[in-house]
Amino acid sequence: MTTTTAIKGINVKELTKKILNGDHIFILDVRNTGDFDDWKIEGENVHIINKPYFDLIDSLDPIMDQLPKDQPIYVICAKGGSSEFVAEQIADAGYNNVYSIEGGMKAWSEHLEPIKIGDLTGGGTIYQFVRIGKGCLSYLVESNGEVAIIDAARMIEPYEQFISEHNLKLTHLLDTHLHADHISGGRTLAEKVGAEYHLPPKDAEEVTYSYTKLEDGNEIRVGKVLIKAIYSPGHTIGSTSFIVDDQYLLTGDILFIDSIGRPDLAGKAEDWVSDLRQTLYDRYKQLADNLIVLPALHGN
């Protein structure tokens, strides 16, 4: 009779907190090597190795000399099934702290983690929602019970849960540009709750749904906080940045912490590179020096 040792499960929210806290994490990724090379869990204190599931069905010998004895082992696969099998094998081999990451890389890809950035003048707070598995960042501004969300991800449930838990009302959703690398949840969430959806018109010439045009200099009030639109083309022809409470500059995909946005994703690099240069060295240069830059992507 074959018996297996009980393993533990960990969800991606718990894992995210550990990584953001700087915990030392050891991960065994059992997906195919090609998938692993394309995309994997990363972090400053994350040590990750890859050995495909099919190489471990009969024996753990290929990885035994790489498994730590003195720290937890987290096993991940695409959706959570194969990782459970491998985690059980590791536990049966005498390892005590073995976890299967629930939902696998699919869950990791979709998780949004809210992090408080700072307080706003006159009351209110700005939060950053980190999609740690893909590098996308969205923002929630709340003041006097009202909420605006900027660059919402397609997974709208985390925003809804946050708003419900804090007894807030969503009034505005804004996109800095029409996204090419992911699907915005702004329109869906706006329609669901009856909020106003804002989009730069130069990016929306072919859309068929209704929206409120974001023009340079527009001001949107959220409770006691003002959000001001700054036309800042270069990544797209309609790219728009936002100044929040005269404290924060939300730059979308124009300016990152260590780099700048790409002007070539629509095949119009020659046309848009001059717009990008003008935004970075002219439009942004006219703004206050004390603004804190908050981009729409991390790791750049």
Query: What residues are annotated to the active site?
Result: 77
Contact by Cβ (8 Å): 234, 277: yes
Among 121, 223, 233, smallest CA distance to 168 is for 223
Q: How far apart are CA 97 and CA 192, in angstroms?
A: 43
Contact by Cβ (8 Å): 125, 104: no
Contact by Cβ (8 Å): 240, 255: no
Contact by Cβ (8 Å): 52, 28: no
Contacts of 107 (CB under 8 A, 6+ apart): 11, 12, 80, 101
Among 151, 153, 154, 115, smallest CA distance to 227 is for 151
Residue in the structure block whose two tokens are 């970075």? 280
Stated length of the chain: 300
Q: For the chain, what is the radius of gyration of the CA atoms?
A: 22
